[in-house]
Amino acid sequence: MFLAAEAFRTRLVPSSFRSFFTQDERSLIVSQYGGTRFNGETVRLEGIKERDGQLDLLLSPSCYFDLLSTNLLLSATASQWSPEARQLQERLRNEANIEELQRKPLRILSNPLLANDLAVSILLHTPDRHFLLARRSGAVALSAGSFSVSATGALDERDPHAGNPVLSCACREMEEELGLNVHEGDFAFRGIFIGSAKLQPIALVDAEVPSFEGIRTNFEVAGLQAVTKEELRSYTDAPMSDASRFHISLWT
């Protein structure tokens, strides 16, 4: 599901999220993902209003553990999890009606049992239409080793207080993951994507940079690949998230 728009606004509203699990149940679920995790503050996409070609994004406070135990739990591969955790996953899948959500992903936004944390997908290109793709390292919690757009990240507690929370997140991810100083005005908003495989709302943004020289990576990135517009299509067959695949397809 993709809501295309070149313009958007954001507004903070009270959260309507209602936890389906107890704190102990949520902790059990989070523990199944493995690794050390920090329950940082995130930003929930409460809803979207379309008006005159513009999207109004309604945002509220959230947290990472709620995302792990709701949206990401719905599509998590739980074959190696404990029987108790698999039972919790099945309970949520039944209560949230996973089959209906996969057919109509936009309905996650009207479901109070899902955290719906908003993330950002960023695709960089040069004036001569070379695009920067990344391969995620084994140190990341999700989609390790897969290809992706130039950078991705989730809104956190700093962003609601910025003038533009989505672009604030995009600027930070550029600096943290690639060492680039990209200004908010350099980004082009493409719209909001919600995939049927990973039921999480993603803001898609592009940015043109003079070149890819001087880029440095952090622990989240195993490697970078500069490809032409003609070469982009071949990468849509590589392992990657449905959001990255769709974002790349906008240029092919």
Q: Residue 149 is encoded by which pair of tokens?
A: 């757009």
- Mean pLDDT calculated for residue range 29-41: 87
pTM, whole model, 2 decimals? 0.92
Over residues 175-179, mean pLDDT:
91
User: How many percent of the chain have pLDDT more than 90?
Assistant: 79
pLDDT band at 144 (very low <50, low <70, confident <90, very high): low
At residue 239 the predicted structure's pLDDT band, cuts being 50, 70 and 90, is confident
Amino acid 21: pLDDT: 98
Least confident of 19-33, 156-170, 234-248: 234-248
* Residue 136 pLDDT > 80: no
∠ CA 241-242-243, nearest 5°, is 90
pLDDT at 143: 52
Whether 2 has a pLDDT exceeding 80, the answer reads yes
CA dihedral 142→143→148→152, nearest 10 degrees, is: 0
pLDDT at 223: 83
Reading across the β-sheet that carries 41-51, which strands appear in turn?
A: 7-12, 54-63, 41-51
Contacts of 138 (CB under 8 A, 6+ apart): 144, 145, 222
Residue 142 has pLDDT above 60, yes or no: no
Question: Do 143 and 136 touch, CB atoms closer than 8 A?
Answer: yes
Average pLDDT estimate for 238-245: 90
Helices 83-96 and 23-32, axial angle in degrees (round to 10)? 110
How much is the pLDDT for 217? 72
Confidence of residue 145 (pLDDT cuts 50, 70, 90): low
- How would residue 237 be classed by pLDDT, with cut points 50, 70 and 90? confident
What pLDDT is recorded for position 11? Answer: 95
Closest CA to 49 of 39, 59, 40: 59
Per-residue pLDDT at 6:
92
Tens digits of residue pLDDT in 205-224? 999 999 998 888 766 666 88
**More confident call, 219 vs 73:** 73
Average pLDDT of the segment spanning 54-62: 97
Average pLDDT, the chain: 92
What are the tens digits of pLDDT across the range 79-126? 999 999 999 999 999 999 999 999 999 999 999 999 999 999 999 999
Closest CA to 27 of 18, 37, 17: 37
